[in-house]
Amino acid sequence: MSENWRPAASLATLRARAELMDAVRRFFRERGLLEVETPLLSAAAGTDPNLEPLHTRYEGPEAPSDGLLYLHTSPEFPMKRLLAAGSGPVWQISRVFRGGERGPRHNPEFTMLEWYRPGWDHRALMVEVAELVAAVAGPRPVRERTHAEAFASLGVDPHRDDAAALDAAARANGVTPPDGLERDALLDLLFSHAVAPELGHGRIEFVHDFPAEQAALARVREGDPPVAERFECYLDGMEIANGFHELADAAEQRRRFVADQQRRRARGQPVPPVDERLLAALQAGLPDCAGVALGLDRLFMVALGARRIDEVLAFPLERA
């Protein structure tokens, strides 16, 4: 008989989690944002080569031609369609799914809090993220640094250093890069091994203005160097949230989707279809807005002093 029928989290933690969930709901209700629900299943999916959507098969009326429906990796696309339809500020708590992600801070199914603020930029939204974190996990001082500033202590310029320089910097900082990493992956290696673990100890720490190649769905601000208007929030060395001053240009969005698809094809990854409905919504006009996705399980880990995500989940992967 398997002992794995029992929850991984203690019942006391699950009760505390329910109260934290209430605190999140109260935060958004008091601020007057509209709570929305969008589909978990879609015929289209995100194209980001570093996010692997799970999929399932639907047979029946109105099935897509290949029968495939993707489980969303975040509710971003349909929420932007609501914004383009004139919803005003919206928020949502949903389960999201990511293939290949399991570890002390990862479960392939987790709880995402996502919200959007029309008329705001990423800097304004960072302030509200800090307020939400304080409301749930208690107040801490806030520090904001640019991506370049966060890298400065490693002697790295993330905007200009080439792959060889990043490789050398990794070695100088005690990290041997696996063979064949591209420049982007080397930046991820340095960031995840040498920068992130030092962020957010005793404070809420934001890193913003990312290299343009790491814009994802953020707009790029022209300049020397051009920077992506994107931020990440860190607590106790752990990434909690990722936000954008949202890209609203349909042509630029299509160009990024196609570039992602080409990269996926080149790497032999599955190539999900581009979300044409999102592109049509951008074409119709997405209001100037900022949005953020925040991993609630991780925020609850910090609030409850848990070291592993399993401590705040009733049934993580191995017990699901």
Partner 1 sequence: MATYTTNQFKGGLKLMLDGEPYSIVENEFVKPGKGQAFNRVKLRNLKTGKVLDRTFKSGESVEAADVLETELQYLFNDGEHWYFMDTETFDQVAAGKAAMGGAEKWIKEQDICNVTLWNGEPLQVDPPSFVELQVTQTDPGVRGDTSSGGSKPATVETGAVVRVPLFLEEGEVIKIDTRKGEYVGRVKD
Least Å distance, CB 190 to partner 1, is: 11
| Residue 50 makes contact with partner 1 by CB under 8 A | yes
Structural tokens at position 180 = 């064949």
Kindly state whether residue 151 participates in binding partner 1, applying the rule CB under 8 A.
no
- Of residues 177, 211, 272, 291, which one binds partner 1 by CB under 8 A? 177
Can residue 103 be called a binding residue for partner 1 (CB under 8 A)? yes
Does 232 participate in binding partner 1 (rule CB under 8 A)?
yes
The answer to whether 65 contacts partner 1 (rule: CB under 8 A) is no
Reported in sequence order, the residue ranges of the chain that DSSP labels E, i.e. its strands, are: 34-35, 41-42, 55-57, 68-71, 90-97, 109-118, 142-146, 204-211, 220-221, 227-235, 238-245, 289-295
Smallest separation, CB 293 to partner 1 (Å): 8
Contact status: 145 vs partner 1 (CB under 8 A)? no
CA torsion, points 241, 245, 250, 253, in degrees to nearest 10?
-50
Is residue 196 close enough to count as binding partner 1 by CB under 8 A? yes
Q: Confirm or reject binding of residue 189 to partner 1 (CB under 8 A).
A: yes
- Residue 225 φ then ψ, to 5°: -80, 160
What does the per-residue mask of binding to partner 1 show for 199-228, with x meaning CB under 8 A? ---------------x-x------------
The footprint of partner 1 on residues 291-310 (CB under 8 A) is: 293, 295
Q: Does 183 bind partner 1 (CB under 8 A)?
A: no
> Taking Cα atoms as reference points, which of 246, 282, 273, 239 lies closest to residue 112?
239
| Per-residue b or e along 156-169, where b marks 16 or more CB atoms closer than 10 Å to that residue's CB | bebbebeeeebbeb
100 forms part of the interface with partner 1 (CB under 8 A) = yes
101 binding partner 1? (CB under 8 A):
yes
Selection from 309, 315, 269 nearest residue 103 by Cα: 309
Residue 183, burial from CB neighbour count under 10 angstroms (0-12, 13-18, 19+): middle
Task: State yes or no: residue 252 binds partner 1 (CB under 8 A).
Answer: no
DSSP code for 106 = B
**Considering the rule CB under 8 A, would residue 157 count as an interface residue with partner 1?**
no
- 140 binds partner 1 per the rule CB under 8 A: no
Residue closer to partner 1 (CB basis): 199 or 274: 199
61, exposed or middle or buried, with CB in 10 Å at 0-12, 13-18, 19+?
exposed
- Indicate whether 193 belongs to the interface with partner 1 (CB under 8 A): yes
Determine if 146 is a binding residue for partner 1 (CB under 8 A): no
**Strand 289-295 vs strand 238-245: parallel, antiparallel, or unpaired?**
antiparallel
* 48 is an interface residue for partner 1 by CB under 8 A: yes
Which one, 15 or 308, has the nearer CB to partner 1?
Answer: 308
Contact 216, 201 (CB under 8 A): no
Residue 102 touching partner 1 (CB under 8 A):
yes
The rounded radius of gyration (Å) of the Cα atoms in the chain is 20
Contact 264, 256 (CB under 8 A): no
Binding interface with partner 1 (CB under 8 A): 48, 50-51, 100-104, 106, 174-178, 180-181, 184-185, 187-189, 191-193, 196, 214, 216, 232, 239, 242, 293, 295
